[in-house]
C-alpha cells in the first residue's frame, strides 16, 4: 500500500515561489529534487494543489507531467512586487534628504540626487568610496576628526542598532564646509545579519548659523591643553604645583607687532621674566611692577602667538596654567565663533593641543562695544597700552616716552591720541549713556 507523503502543500509551493521567472514549469522529478524528497511520492500533493487552482499542470511525454504557478497567484505577486520596487526607487531618488546605502564591507552602493547635491560629488564618485575613505573629511564641532570607530556606519555594523541624530562638519571638494545631521539604520537579511546600512542626512548648515547668531551676546569659555613640550624649560622640574599666568591684554602695534601684558602671583619677578623669555615668540620682556604679591610684565611678541589666536577671532586669552607636565590655555571667544577655529590656530604652535572643555555664558559688553566703534584703531591702542602698561598707576610703571616708542611716534603725538581717546570714553560714559536713558 502506498504511504502518504509527509511533505506539505506550502512546502511544495515555496519551490515555485523561489524561481526567478514567474510561472516557470517544473517536472515532477524536478520538484522532488528541489524538496530532497528522496523518492517520496508528491504526486498527490501536486494534484491537490492543481485541483485548488494554486498550480496548473499538463502532461509531459508519456508518463510525466509539468507543474507551474497559476495565473493570478505568483504572477500577481510578481506584478505587485515590480510596481512596489519601482515606487521605492522613485521615492528614494526624489527624497528631500540625502540617502546613501552602504554594504557590510563598507562600500557605498547607492546615493540619491539629494546626496549628490549636498556632498558636491557625482553618484559614481560617491559609490567608488567606502564610508571610511580618508577623502571624507568629517570632524566634530571642536575640529577633532571623527575616528572610524565612531562613524555611525561602523557603529551600526558593529551593534546592529540604529544611530540617530549624529552631527558633524564635512569639508567639500570646493573647500567649503557643511554641518550635517544624519540618521543611520540597518537592513537585515533572512538570517538576521546586517545586509545594508541606510544613511539619511540633511544639510543643517543654515540652522547651525542661526543658532550661532542667537549666541552673539554670549562668550564661549574654552580650556585647551598642550603637552610637556609647551612648558617653559625653567618650569619643567618645578615642584610648586600649578602656576597661573593671567593674560591681561594684547595691544597690536604698527607693522603687525604686538605687546602682551601678563601677571602672576605664583612666581618671583626673576622667575617670571625668565619663563616668558623662554617662549620662542616673545622678546624684550620688561618687568613693570611687583606689588601686593603680584608681578606684572610687558613682552613684545611676534605677530602670531597663542594668545593672539583668541584675539584674532574677536575674543581674548585669559590665562595660562602651567605644571611640570602640561600647559592649559584659558580663553574666550564670541558665542558665534566655533571652537575648532581656535584649535586650528593653536595647533600651528602645538600640534597635539586638545579641547578639554567649553562653556557658553551670557556676557553683554555694551560700553566696550560702543567705545571700540567710536575710537580709531590708533586711539584705542594708545588707551589700552597706557592702561595695561601702568601709565595711570602711581607711581607710573611706564612713561609717556616709553609708550610713544612702542608706536614709533613722539610723546606729544602719543599724548594727543591718548587725550582724544579719554575724551570719547568719558563722553559716552557721562553724556551718551544719559541720552540713551532719557
348 and 371, same structural domain?
no
> What is the distance between the alpha carbons of residues 96 and 114, in angstroms, rounded to a whole number?
6
Same domain, residue pair 118 and 175: yes
Q: Do 101 and 206 belong together in one domain?
A: yes
Q: Tell me what pLDDT residue 75 has.
A: 45
The answer to whether the beta carbons of residues 432 and 391 sit under 8 Å apart is no
342 neighbors 309 (Cβ within 8 angstroms): yes
Of 137, 141, 139, 140, which is closest to residue 337 (Cα–Cα)? 141
3 state SS for 85-130: HHHHHHHHHHCCCEEEEECCCCEEEEECHHHHHHHCCCHHHHHCCE
Residue 430 has pLDDT above 50, yes or no: yes
Does the global pTM surpass 0.75?
Answer: no
Residue 177's SS3 state is strand
243/206 same-domain check:
no
Residue 79 within a domain: no
CATH code, domain with 24: 1.10.10.10
Backbone φ and ψ for 318, nearest 5 degrees, come out as -110, -40
Last residue of a domain, one of 320, 342, 362: 362
Task: Tell me: do 105 and 154 sit in the same domain.
Answer: yes
Name the residue range of residue 416's domain: 366-437
Position with higher pLDDT, 212 vs 256: 256
Query: What are the pLDDT digits (tens) for 398-419?
Result: 999 999 998 889 999 999 989 9
> Can you tell me whether residue 249 is helix, strand or coil?
strand
Tally of CB atoms within 10 A around 415: 16
Which of 157, 178, 210 finishes a domain? 210
Q: Are residues 341 and 378 in the same domain?
A: no
Report pLDDT digits (tens) over 89-145.
777 788 889 999 999 999 998 999 999 999 999 999 999 999 999 899 998 887 889
Residue 87 placed within a domain? no
Could you tell me which residue, 2 or 278, shows the higher pLDDT? 278
Across the beta sheet with 282-291, the strand order is 282-291, 294-301, 258-264, 243-252, 316-322, 327-334, 218-226, 354-362
Phi, psi of 12 (to 5 degrees): -65, -45
pLDDT > 90: percent of the chain: 40
DSSP per-residue letters across 295-312: EEEEEEE-S--HHHHHHH
Percent of the chain with pLDDT over 70: 87
Asked if 243 and 354 sit in the same domain, the reply is yes
Of 335, 362, 389, which residue is a domain's last? 362
pLDDT band at residue 438 under the 50/70/90 scheme: very low
DSSP state of 338: -
Same domain, 243 and 306: yes
Strand arrangement, sheet containing 26-27:
26-27, 64-69, 55-60
Is 44 a member of any domain? yes
- Do 105 and 178 fall into the same domain? yes
SS3 171: strand
Give domain status of residue 390, yes or no: yes
Q: At 435, is the pLDDT very low, low, confident or very high (cuts 50, 70, 90)?
A: very low
Residue 304 has pLDDT above 50, yes or no: yes
- pLDDT for 39 equals 58
Judgement on whether residues 323 and 288 belong to the same structural domain of the protein: yes
Domain check: are 351 and 384 in the same one? no
Indicate if 69 and 168 belong to the same structural domain. Answer: no
Tens digit of each residue's pLDDT (9 = 90 or more) over 370-395: 677 788 888 888 898 898 888 988 88
In a domain? residue 201: yes
- The reply to whether 90 falls in a domain is no
Question: How many structural domains are present in the chain?
Answer: 4
What pLDDT is attached to residue 432? 52
Task: Find the CATH number of the domain harbouring 424.
Answer: 1.10.10
**Cβ–Cβ under 8 Å, residues 407 and 382:** yes
Amino acid at each position: 500500500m502506498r504511504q502518504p507523503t509527509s511533505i506539505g502543500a506550502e512546502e511544495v509551493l515555496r519551490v515555485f515561489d523561489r524561481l526567478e521567472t514567474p510561472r516557470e514549469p517544473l517536472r515532477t522529478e524536478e520538484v522532488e529534487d528541489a524538496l530532497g524528497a528522496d523518492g517520496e511520492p508528491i504526486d498527490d500533493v501536486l494534484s491537490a494543489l492543481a485541483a485548488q487552482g494554486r498550480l496548473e499542470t499538463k502532461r509531459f511525454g508519456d508518463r510525466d507531467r509539468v507543474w507551474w504557478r497559476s495565473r493570478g497567484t505568483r504572477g500577481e505577486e510578481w506584478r505587485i512586487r515590480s510596481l512596489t520596487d519601482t515606487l521605492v526607487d522613485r521615492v528614494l531618488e526624489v527624497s528631500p534628504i540625502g540617502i546613501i546605502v552602504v554594504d557590510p564591507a563598507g562600500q557605498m552602493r547607492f546615493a540619491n540626487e539629494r546626496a549628490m547635491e549636498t556632498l558636491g560629488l557625482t553618484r559614481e564618485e560617491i559609490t567608488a568610496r567606502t564610508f571610511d575613505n580618508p577623502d571624507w573629511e568629517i570632524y566634530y564641532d571642536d575640529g577633532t576628526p571623527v575616528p572610524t570607530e565612531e562613524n555611525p556606519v561602523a557603529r551600526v555594523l558593529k551593534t546592529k542598532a540604529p544611530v540617530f541624530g549624529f552631527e558633524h562638519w564635512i569639508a567639500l571638494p570646493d573647500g567649503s564646509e557643511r554641518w550635517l545631521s544624519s540618521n543611520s539604520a540597518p537592513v537585515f537579511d533572512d538570517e538576521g545579519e546586517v545586509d545594508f546600512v541606510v544613511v539619511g542626512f540633511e544639510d543643517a548648515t543654515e540652522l547651525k548659523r542661526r543658532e550661532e547668531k542667537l549666541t552673539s551676546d554670549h562668550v564661549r569659555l574654552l580650556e585647551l591643553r598642550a603637552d610637556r613640550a609647551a612648558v617653559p624649560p625653567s618650569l619643567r622640574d618645578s615642584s610648586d604645583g600649578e602656576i597661573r599666568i593671567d593674560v591681561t591684554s594684547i595691544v597690536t602695534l604698527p607693522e603687525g607687532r604686538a605687546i602682551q601684558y601678563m601677571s602672576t602671583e605664583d612666581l618671583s619677578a626673576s622667575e617670571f621674566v625668565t619663563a616668558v623669555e623662554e617662549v620662542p615668540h616673545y622678546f624684550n620682556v620688561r618687568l613693570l611692577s611687583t606689588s601686593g604679591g603680584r608681578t606684572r610684565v610687558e613682552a613684545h611678541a611676534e605677530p602670531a602667538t597663542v594668545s593672539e589666536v583668541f584675539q584674532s577671532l574677536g575674543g581674548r586669552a585669559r590665562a595660562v596654567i602651567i605644571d611640570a607636565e602640561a600647559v592649559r590655555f584659558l580663553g574666550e571667544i564670541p558665542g558665534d565663533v566655533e571652537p575648532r577655529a581656535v584649535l586650528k590656530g593653536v595647533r600651528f604652535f602645538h600640534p597635539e593641543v586638545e579641547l578639554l572643555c567649553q562653556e557658553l555664558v551670557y556676557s553683554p559688553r555694551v560700553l566696550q562695544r560702543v567705545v571700540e566703534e567710536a575710537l580709531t584703531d590708533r586711539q584705542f591702542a594708545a588707551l589700552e597700552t597706557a592702561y595695561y602698561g601702568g601709565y595711570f598707576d602711581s607711581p607710573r610703571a611706564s612713561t609717556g616716552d616709553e609708550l610713544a616708542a612702542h608706536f614709533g611716534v613722539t610723546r606729544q603725538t602719543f599724548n594727543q591720541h591718548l587725550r582724544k581717546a579719554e575724551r570719547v570714553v568719558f563722553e559716552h560714559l557721562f553724556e551718551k549713556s544719559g541720552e540713551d536713558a532719557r
